[in-house]
Structure 1
Amino acid sequence: MSGKLYLIPTPIGNLKDITLRALETLKSVDIIACEDTRQSLKLLNHFNIRKTLISYHKHNENGKSEDIINRLIEGKNIAIISDAGTPGISDPGAIIVKRCIEENIEFEVYPGATAITTALVYSGLNTDKFLFVGFLSRENKDRKEVIEGLADRQETLIFYEAPHRLESTLNFLKDNLGNRNIAICKELTKLHETILRGTLEESIEHYKENKPKGEYVLVLEGKSKTEIIEEMKSKWVDMSIEEHIKEYINQGLNKKEAIKKVAKERNLHKSEVYKFGIDI
């Protein structure tokens, strides 16, 4: 009979944030796969957990996933933990989950600490809809392509960033998305946790005087409805109402839908706009 795999979140800073169920499972499994065994030992030693440890990180994830699958087939129960947060979220874990599904091996994902939701709530920005981006590419061409796809998104955007790249990333976001509001969350749940809220310009000025240190989560305001409306207005401000209706018909809308949309954008009653569409 195959063993079972457990994906267990670990604290993102404060060791007290680990769950009782996580501790019980870490004490009961046969093997713990760690992103960095040295880092994980600090957590495990704190809770007097002594287990066989194997390394499982982004550079050996493919090969180690097969090794773990084989051990599970042999009947071993295995837990996977990352240095901080939930395995599979910007950390190794997704590949082994896919392999378990393919091999019909039982696995369980535990809830727990994650920097994403902690930073989002701290930000004071819209929490109804958000988009987690993770780390932007170091290659300018690649990150430019990603950010172009995000430029018109209204959801709050969440990024991870390292201290040595923070200033460059803030400038990049401002140059490509404009001077939006942002919350910069540093060292979440740790002793020196700080939340800096303001605009991108204000944040850039702040870090000219204060060298970035620690781990950062950037929570950036999505594109505002006001900005979207202003952009739409700029497209039709020189159009007649009839030309505006034709524009949407050419985009594939029927006349009724086009009239309705034009009326909404121009803040006019549909009957007023309808008169201009009769002969179209």
Structure 2
Amino acid sequence: MTGWIDLNADLGEEPMEEVRDIALMQHISSCNIACGGHAGDAGSMARMLRAAREAGVAPGAHPSYPDSAGFGRTSLDMPLTELIDSLVAQVDALANIAADLAIPLTHIKPHGMLYNDLADHPQMAGAVASALHRAFPHLALVGLAHGSFEAAASKAGACFIAEGFVDRGYTPARRLVPRSQPGALIEGDDARAAQALAIATGQPLAANDGTLIHVVAKSLCIHSDSPGSEQTALRIAGVMASKGISIKAPGEMPNDPADLLRR
């Protein structure tokens, strides 16, 4: 078996954990950098960008509902135009710092509840995908595989990278189990690596009710704040290597639809 899969992590979200984030970069291929909506500031953005360059990791923006108090984990009832303005401003903040450092960004991945809302609400997904693609046409959009954001990005003409999760449980509808419910978090390197391999190879995995589902994705997310995330990333790398699967960022492999990210 041969192939490739991207392994990404959300970084720059916890000021006291930057050492952990930088260590994790040694084992992933792309990262999503908090850019002020739920976490992150100019200093953390610059440090994460420099670390990504040093590690050879493809950096992207990780915008959210403007909700630093709630870490972006609650849906905000705000006008869609105001939300879009905030998201564009967040990505611009990271893009400007990246430009100053001569570090190209590759993608945009929404955070937290915004991520889930974009997967579930087609009208919202369409507006956000179109606006982000207009503002940043060279950046791919990353979102939940099989969600509304995937269809919206395609309709907008954006490159979309479908994402699966190695440390989160799924419902039968291929949505993430809410963090407040049992089965939301997958613990242990073996279980996480098994889920990663199932997604990478197109094999079924068990939803939280025991039914089997397929998740078709080209990027896998491991949360940096999951206990043992660095060890899990190492375990996943070993399992993928044993199956002939390379861990590469989208755009690094020939004939990849995301090859526009190299331009």
Q: Above 0.5 in TM-score?
A: no
Question: Taking structure 2 as the reference length, what is the TM-score of the superposition?
Answer: 0.30
Which protein has the bigger helix share?
A: 1
